[in-house]
Amino acid sequence: MLIDDKNWWRQAAVYQIYPRSFADANGDGLGDLQGVISRADYLKSLHIDAVWLSPFYPSALADGGYDVDDYRNVDPRIGTLEDFDEMVQVLHERGIRVIVDLVPNHTSNLHEWFQAALKAGPGSPERARYIFREGRGENGELPPTDWTSIFGGPSWTRVEDGQWYLHNFAPEQPDLNWKNPEVHEDFIKTLRFWLDRGADGFRVDVAHGLAKDLPEDAASLPSKAELDAMPVDGTHPLWDRDEVHEIYREWREVLNEYTPARTAVAEAWVETSRRPHYSSPDGLGQAFNFDLLDADFSAPEFRHLIAHNLELSDQTGSSSTWVFSNHDVVRHATRFGLPLLGSAEDIEHPDTWIKADQAKHFVLTDGAEPALDRELGLRRARAATLLELALPGSAYMYQGEELGLHEVVEISDDQRQDPTFFRSPGVEKGRDGCRVPLPWTAEGESFGFGQAAPHLPQPAWFAEVSVEKQDGKDGSTLSMYREALALRRELLTEDESLTWIDELCGEYSLAFERAGGWVTVMNFGDDPIALPAGKVLLSSGPLAQEGELPGATTVWLQR
């Protein structure tokens, strides 16, 4: 059984499962909860503390499951509530906690509430759960505003009777009205539902978006240009409003009813100075920091971001979070193998892999990969991960990064699923390339993922990076993750301080020490650097010469 440790989350190693692409037990090409159960021993072998499962709810998959039809159920293609219970039990028995993904900013358009809102008509209590407005123009034929959704295209869609509803994401994801007490009550019910079934915590999707302030009268809504010019300082009509924290204070009371108190981590894309509001102990308690995920492979940049985030989490007594990959971004092995082209303007460039300043805005082109250095990208990714696992705070890893997977670009347009692809339209390839089902074996129908063709195509190179090929093999990425995570458990203490070793920090290197003489040195450059004294515990790549750390390599030392 699990130790009842109320601080387990502070320095947890959390592994994100994208359920539809992890393991397919029932042979329909989509991963499922029985698939997770069948790989429970694999998860244990990674020495992780928790898994976070991306949405497994019933969904028409307009946005990979982030369009939820029913918050208190499991998609029949993924399993049943009984499968969920079994999964929790099997993982708990192995010392692995379970974090459920909660999507409170929007439901799907198939959710019974939205269907009822469509039927009930303007001015009804059913519509008041969402954000419906009259259109502009003589007959309301123009949308209330010219705003664009995050996935591209307009933020408003018109319904049959002429009203328009707001969707900051896809049209299939109508935004909820959090001014409505019914919405509050229903989510409290959902929290308790999963907590009572054994969930240990939540990842909260678009946590900065729930509170909105939008006058009823469309004429007084700001234009897109006005909206974009508004400061996001707690008063913006759509994002990061101060009163969103009232919602999280309500949730915190519920989370604290359980022993130990349950955890929550906010996905909040906000100004860094505002992040502590989300991680405060009377709120969600922890917030994602995506700063390293957005960063270039640069020692000074990493140092600045690490130091800054440790200060931020100190402000509320939370712990920091570190992420290099997730289901929304180009995998870090690939990002770090792309040339730095600099600015977002380069995104227009038609036929190369492109690195822009925001990981979210990578544009990948099919097949053609003239500029990608796969080997360098992987070496750097491994080095970055070993650094991450030594930092104070929680490390959130994404399925497949333990295999050193690269982004999959071999997906033809007719096989794409991501709404960003369809709504850009076609300009952004979208996020399918990091969501391709995992390769478990070197051969077989879907490299051991299941018995049927997988829902996204797997490239031939998956064979070489499969679990089977890397399992137990010295120097493989899988072995490095396992060794690092096992060792991390031994080395971690409650002391969350970090001391920079200034004389070893420079343009191309970083070094710091944690309690107990655990030293991490990372070489960002191409040329070897001298290693300080100490016993080598683990390195992210081969150390050819004694006393030297090769380029794009990280080492852990004991002093």
Report, as residue numbers or ranges, the catalytic residues: 205, 257
Of the residues 205, 240, 407, 432, which one makes contact with ligand GLC according to CB under 6 A: 205
What x-and-dash track marks residues 276-315 binding ligand GLC by CB under 6 A?
----------------------------------------
Q: How far is the CB of 517 from ligand GLC (least distance, A)?
A: 38
Segment 206-225, which members bind ligand GLC (CB under 6 A)? 206
Q: How far is the CB of 184 from ligand GLC (least distance, A)?
A: 19
Beta bridge partners of 513: 499, 519
Segment 168-197, which members bind ligand GLC (CB under 6 A)? 169
What x-and-dash track marks residues 142-171 binding ligand GLC by CB under 6 A?
---------------------------x--
Closest CA to 178 of 122, 285, 104: 104
For ligand GLC, give the closer residue by CB, 150 or 529: 150
For ligand GLC, give the closer residue by CB, 130 or 556: 130
Of the residues 9, 56, 66, 396, which one makes contact with ligand GLC according to CB under 6 A: 66
Q: What are phi and psi of 555, to 5 degrees?
A: -130, 145
Segment 46-65, which members bind ligand GLC (CB under 6 A)? 63
Structure tokens at 319: 């712990």
Closest CA to 293 of 446, 434, 149, 143: 434
Say if CB 402 and CB 478 are below 8 A apart.
yes
Q: How far apart are CA 290 and CA 327, in angstroms?
A: 13
Q: How far apart are CA 488 and CA 47, in angstroms?
A: 9
Q: How far apart are CA 37 and CA 88, in angstroms?
A: 9
Q: How far apart are CA 63 and CA 58, in angstroms?
A: 12
Q: How far is the CB of 210 from ligand GLC (least distance, A)?
A: 12
Number of C-beta neighbours around residue 229 at 10 A = 9
Residues 6+ apart with CB under 8 A from 343: 356, 357
Distance in angstroms between the alpha carbons of the first and the last residue of the chain: 35
For ligand GLC, give the closer residue by CB, 279 or 539: 279
Q: How far apart are CA 513 and CA 515, in angstroms?
A: 7
Helices (H), ranges, 69-214: 81-93, 112-120, 181-196
Q: How far is the CB of 65 from ligand GLC (least distance, A)?
A: 8
Number of C-beta neighbours around residue 228 at 10 A = 10
Q: How far apart are CA 374 and CA 366, in angstroms?
A: 16
Q: What is the three-class DSSP state of 37?
A: helix
Q: How far is the CB of 169 from ligand GLC (least distance, A)?
A: 5
For ligand GLC, give the closer residue by CB, 8 or 278: 278
Of the residues 328, 388, 407, 432, which one makes contact with ligand GLC according to CB under 6 A: 328
The single residue listed with the structure tokens 């519509």 is 127
For ligand GLC, give the closer residue by CB, 72 or 374: 72
Contact between 428 and ligand GLC per CB under 6 A: no
CB hemisphere CA count around 225 (13 angstroms)? 0
Count of chain residues binding ligand GLC (CB under 6 A) = 9
Say if CB 370 and CB 468 are below 8 A apart.
no
For ligand GLC, give the closer residue by CB, 436 or 492: 436
Q: How far is the CB of 420 from ligand GLC (least distance, A)?
A: 8
Q: Which region holds residue 21: left if phi is over 0, alpha if psi is between -120 and 50, else beta?
A: alpha
Q: How far is the CB of 149 from ligand GLC (least distance, A)?
A: 10
Q: How far is the CB of 522 from ligand GLC (least distance, A)?
A: 28
Q: How far is the CB of 205 from ligand GLC (least distance, A)?
A: 5
**132-144: b or e for each residue (b if 16 or more CB lie within 10 Å)?**
bbebbeeebeebb
Which element (helix H / strand E) includes 480?
Answer: helix 477-491
For ligand GLC, give the closer residue by CB, 126 or 205: 205
Q: How far apart are CA 495 and CA 506, in angstroms?
A: 26
For ligand GLC, give the closer residue by CB, 89 or 272: 272
For ligand GLC, give the closer residue by CB, 88 or 329: 329
Helices (H), ranges, 180-232: 181-196, 224-229
Q: Could you list the residues that contact ligand GLC (CB under 6 A)?
A: 63, 66, 103, 169, 205-206, 267, 327-328
